[in-house]
Amino acid sequence: MEWTEERIEALRSLWMQGLTASQIAERLGGVSRNAVIGKAHRLGLSARPSPIKREPGAKPVPIPRPARVAPPQHHHAEPAPMPAAPPPPQQQPISAKAPGAAPAGGSKGCMWPIGDPKQAGFHFCGAPSEPGRPYCTQHCAAAYHKRQVDAA
DNA sequence: CCCTGATTCGC
DNA sequence: GCGAATCAGG
């Protein structure tokens, strides 16, 4: 497999969400958990944002996982049109937030849809989003816009 | 044993 | 840079 920007984004996102390396590897596909860990270290991440844990119970906050399946109405159905239906990224659950982590205010947290929903679903880093924007500063804003450009 | 992430090291 | 093997811990 190849570490495309999308996959790296996904790795970042999932890692920051607290998913385990094996879970990330499973969702990315084509890589072992060792590969994920190794890449994570090379990317400079490895320390997750404090006490965000959402493994037990498996009730992840974001990652809506839109089920894309064309219902077989007729036998000669057409291929799924992929209408690019961007699910509303704005959610605020994110648990209460880590003590001392999230800044009070209108910020919701950087979270926006990422390339292939089947693979990553959502980018999500711990950073607070800009007011009125789904993404945070600098890196995420750039990545967010790049995604839109690429999609176009 | 199952799992976790961390590190090493040949490629 | 990549990731299997290995290490250390729960």
Spans of all domains in chain A: 5-43, 109-143
Nearest to A46 by CA among A9, A27, A21: A21
More confident residue, A140 or A91: A140
Spatial distance from the CA of A23 to the C1' of B1 (Å): 20
Q: What percent of chain A has pLDDT over 90?
A: 9
More confident residue, A129 or A151: A129
The C-alpha R_g of chain A, in whole angstroms, comes to 16
Regarding pTM above 0.85, the answer is no
Closest nucleotide to the alpha carbon of A39, via C1': C2
* pLDDT of A127 higher than 90: no
Tell me the CA distances in angstroms from A136 to A34, A43, A109, A113, A130, one per residue in order: 29, 19, 7, 13, 5
- For the ranges A9-13, A41-45, A139-143, the lowest mean pLDDT is seen at A139-143
CB-strand contact A103/C, under 7 Å: no
Predicted confidence at residue A105, as pLDDT, reads 45
Spatial distance from the CA of A31 to the C1' of C1 (Å): 15
User: A107-141 burial by CB neighbour count: b if 16+ within 10 A, else e?
Assistant: bbbbbbbbbebeebbbbbbbbbbbeeebbbeeebb
Mean pLDDT, chain A, whole residue set: 64
CB-strand contact A49/C, under 7 Å: no
Predicted confidence at residue A41, as pLDDT, reads 92
C-alpha to C-alpha distance for A62 and A109, rounded to whole angstroms: 11
A48-85 pLDDT tens trace: 765 545 555 445 455 444 444 444 555 555 544 443 34
User: Which nucleotides along chain C are within 7 A of a protein C-beta?
Assistant: 1-6
More confident residue, A41 or A46: A41
Kindly state the tokens that stand for A1.
């497999």
Spatial distance from the CA of A19 to the C1' of C8 (Å): 21
